[in-house]
């Protein structure tokens, strides 16, 4: 992608349950191929997760070709992944407790 300015950017923080950091890493090391396909199908072209182990928090950042549509149905594979991760992440109802992060600076080279 040559024009990064046309992409929709999202960042968030998730909290890993105490004692589950190694399991969180393991599950992402073995992420399902169908989950990767579902992420790509949702318009994600760049997705990275950073771990801050002392706080049990992860910072996620993704770039999409378009903003997500909150009214669109959630891919069944993504729903299965959320369920799979429920014992590892702090949850809010049926999805990980996710705190959005505001961008306050951006530099494009």
For 70-99, the pLDDT digits (tens) are 899 999 999 999 999 999 999 999 899 999
| φ, ψ dihedrals at 73, nearest 5° | -65, 150
Which of 2-6, 14-18, 23-27, 59-63 shows the lowest per-residue confidence on average (mean pLDDT)?
2-6
For the segment 40-44, the average pLDDT, to the nearest whole number, is 95
Which of 28, 52, 56, 61 is the catalytic position? 28
56 is catalytic: no
Predicted local confidence at residue 7, as pLDDT = 92
Spatial distance between the Cα atoms of 71 and 48, rounded to a whole number of angstroms: 25
Give tens-digit pLDDT for 25-39.
Answer: 999 999 999 999 999
- The neighbour count for residue 25, using CB atoms within 10 Å, is 14
Q: Where are the beta strands (DSSP E) in the chain?
A: 8-15, 44-52, 57-64, 91-92, 95-96, 99-100
Could you say which of 3.40.190.10, 2.70.98.10, 3.30.70.100, 3.20.20.70 is the CATH number of the domain covering 4-100?
3.30.70.100
- Domain definitions of the chain by residue range: 4-100
pLDDT at site 1: 46
Higher pLDDT, 109 or 20: 20
> How far is it, in rounded angstroms, from Cα 109 to Cα 106?
10
9 and 103 Cβ atoms separated by less than 8 Å: yes
């Amino acid at each position: 992608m040559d024009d990064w300015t046309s992409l929709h950017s999202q960042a968030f923080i998730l909290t890993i349950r105490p004692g589950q950091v190694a399991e969180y890493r393991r599950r992402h090391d073995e992420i399902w191929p169908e989950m990767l396909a579902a992420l790509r199908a949702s318009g994600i072209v760049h997705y990275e997760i950073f771990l801050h182990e002392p706080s049990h928090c992860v910072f996620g950042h993704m770039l999409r070709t378009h903003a997500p549509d909150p009214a669109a149905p959630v891919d069944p594979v993504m729903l299965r992944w959320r369920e799979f991760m429920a014992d590892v992440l702090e949850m809010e109802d049926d999805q990980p407790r996710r705190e959005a992060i505001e961008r306050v600076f951006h530099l494009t080279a």
